[in-house]
Structure 1
Amino acid sequence: MFKFNFDVEAESSSDLEAVKSPFVDKKKHSEELEANEIQIIEWYQAERVKPIDNLIPTLDFYELNAKEREVGKARIRHLVAGFLLEDIKAQTHLDIKKAEESHSDLIAGVYEGGAKIWECTDDLLTYLAGKYEDDTFWKGKRVLDLGCGSGLLGIYAIKMGAQVDFQDYNKDVLEYITYPNILLNVDETLADEQKLEFLENKTSLYAGDWSHFAVLTKDLDKYDLILTSETIYNIDNQEKLLETFAGRLKPDGIVLVAAKSHYFGVGGGMEQFTDKIKLGKVFQTENVWQAEENLKRGILQLKFKES
């Protein structure tokens, strides 16, 4: 079992969490504060997200525009985000629309790339299908697809028999992409009301910042497995990510992080992230998969250190 070093006397600081967290480099944090290098971003509060009212009526349209892929024993169907963009652009309040108009996959504090299926998601799906192909691994497991975007990792876990929750920063990603993708993969023979019952009773979707999500769900059952892909690119958010792992993972659970070796322009990457984990002395890590071609990519496994 892990233990946080929270017995440190709080120093005079505008960010007490930075003093408490075992994952923060306090010297570097202090230097950044003095240099005023930290951009103040108002991150979205966490909330549980319900399906939009017209989800079921538009399901037939989604069926006609779905793509299918085989992942081990599972067949996964999902939307191709491109065909949704015209509809999304008509919704003036959506963060996806703001990102599309800015020709950007990332807008700090506004949009975090959830409409795109990133390369490392495919890596992690392939790894899961090979490593945990036996259905018995998944039965009874509680799984979190963290930073889920299209939700393919969580959908694969559902197809294999796990109970899965999904989290993404943007509410509209969950409403317009994740929820439809989940419904595309439930039993096709279910009536409409049964599909809605499945969404209500078998899964939960959460939007908002990771630190707020961890607080919102702190009294709920923890997870046997946390899956996350392409979520370590922003160094400033890595502490929140690690705190979420620590707060929401069962003592004997595992986390699988799929990521690139380096994210140009933002500084994050697998080696840098591993160093940050070691700083916290909470998790033990193992590189369980790596690709050498083009830009290096890998999968990192985290477990709590034994006391």
Structure 2
Amino acid sequence: MFKFNFEVNDSDSSDNTESPFKKPKVEQKTNSDSENDEKILWYEAEQIKPTKAILKSLDLYELNARELTFENVELRHLIAGFLLEDIKRHSDVDSQDIKKSEESHSDLIAGVYEGGAKIWECTDDLLKYLLQNYEKKHWENKVVLDLGCGSGLLGIYALKCGAKVDFQDYNKDVLEKITIPNVLLNLNETLTDDEKIDQLQKKSNFYAGDWSHFAKLTENFEKYDIILTSETIYNVKNQQKLLDTFRKQLKSDGIVLLAAKSHYFGVGGGLEQFVEFLKCGKDFRSTYLWQADENLKRGIIELKLQ
């Protein structure tokens, strides 16, 4: 049994991000790219190194963060509305993908932006599932990948429970503007700047780019005990790349915990379709762990190598 508590300030009411553990709105990813049949040039993968420059904004981040407390683990994350407004106001060359998304009022721009600035409903679902079903000691000495991490809450939880965690997102600017700041917000406040950067480099790696390129970039690296991923199956055309990444990155006895909606309107993919797609291959077996029927159906599945 677990308990948690958090406060939502009135100033957060215009935030685009749903607070974890609140009953979510039914919000769907939609693709603004009408030329879906055109060849998409996906971003090459690259490792993103945290720098001290990001620490200059840490005081501002501290003032614009939400705090979640449960059991003996506390999570903090930036208010997305604050970040998005700041990005729209400034012409930052390092955050052009997020800026394009906001200007076009689209959560998905094929090959350009993949929705990483928001915390989607199924991230809340998977985080609650982890809290209810895994003791803190389960994560100790585990090597974890938060794939399609966005805000990084799933990986940050595992990190704070003792795991070594790598974070991957399609967009470099999501990692630099959202994921890495969120990880920094959850480090021990008594650490010096040098110690914070050192801890980041020892306990985590950050990777941007397309999944197939990411798998190739890291093919000779240590494999993962657990891969956590949420809201990553909406694009049917990318599902094989996702499975290939799981297969290449997972230890032989590892598990994938995947959370998703039953159907993504306007995009095509969904959990039921994905499970049927899994059955067509020979690499994985899947098990439903949790399902919700309110609003739009959502679920969590576990994947293991066969």
TM-score range, shorter-chain basis? Answer: 0.7 to 0.9
* In structure 1, C-alpha distance between the alignment counterparts of 2:256 and 2:38, rounded to whole Å: 29
In our comparison, the structure showing a higher alpha carbon Rg is: 1
Three-state SS of the structure 1 residue aligned to 2:82 is: helix
CA deviation digits over 1:218-276, x for unaligned, max 9?
Answer: 00000000000000000000000000000000000000000000001111000100111
> 4+ runs of 1 displaced by more than 4 Å?
none
Matching residue of 1:268:
269
Matching residue of 2:21:
none
Pairing of 1:10-89 with structure 2 (within 5 A): 38-89=37-88
Contact 1:147/1:231 (<8 A) preserved? yes
**Residue type at the aligned position of 1:80:** I
Matching residue of 1:107:
109
Three-state SS of the structure 2 residue aligned to 1:264 is: coil
Pair 1:91-2:91 in alignment: yes
CA deviation digits over 1:37-79, x for unaligned, max 9?
Answer: 8430000000001225521111011001110113454210000
**Residue type at the aligned position of 2:102:** E
Identity %: 65
Q: In the TM superposition, what is the alpha-carbon distance from 1:86 to its structure 2 partner?
A: 3.3
Contact 2:51/2:197 (<8 A) preserved? no
Contact 1:226/1:255 (<8 A) preserved? yes
Contact 2:150/2:174 (<8 A) preserved? yes
Pair 1:230-2:225 in alignment: no
Pairing of 1:1-307 with structure 2 (within 5 A): 38-89=37-88, 90-93=90-93, 94-132=96-134, 134-305=135-306
Unaligned runs of 5+ in 1: 1-35
**Residue type at the aligned position of 2:125:** D
Three-state SS of the structure 2 residue aligned to 1:98 is: helix
Matching residue of 1:3:
none
Q: In the TM superposition, what is the alpha-carbon distance from 1:200 to its structure 2 partner?
A: 1.4
* In structure 1, C-alpha distance between the alignment counterparts of 2:178 and 2:60, rounded to whole Å: 13
* In structure 2, C-alpha distance between the alignment counterparts of 1:74 and 1:87, rounded to whole Å: 29
**Residue type at the aligned position of 1:290:** Q
Contact 2:46/2:214 (<8 A) preserved? yes
Change over 3 Å in CA distance of 1:86–1:287 after alignment to 2: same
**Residue type at the aligned position of 1:244:** T
What count of residue pairs does the alignment treat as equivalent? 269
* In structure 2, C-alpha distance between the alignment counterparts of 1:206 and 1:269, rounded to whole Å: 25
Three-state SS of the structure 2 residue aligned to 1:63 is: helix
Three-state SS of the structure 2 residue aligned to 1:56 is: helix
Quote the RMSD (CA, aligned, Å).
1.3
Q: In the TM superposition, what is the alpha-carbon distance from 1:197 to its structure 2 partner?
A: 0.4
Unaligned runs of 5+ in 2: 1-34
**Residue type at the aligned position of 2:234:** Y
**Residue type at the aligned position of 2:108:** L
Report the TM-score, using the length of structure 1 for normalisation. Answer: 0.85
**Residue type at the aligned position of 2:77:** H
* In structure 2, C-alpha distance between the alignment counterparts of 1:71 and 1:256, rounded to whole Å: 21
* In structure 2, C-alpha distance between the alignment counterparts of 1:111 and 1:175, rounded to whole Å: 14
Matching residue of 2:9:
none
Report the TM-score, using the length of structure 2 for normalisation. Answer: 0.86
* In structure 2, C-alpha distance between the alignment counterparts of 1:37 and 1:63, rounded to whole Å: 40
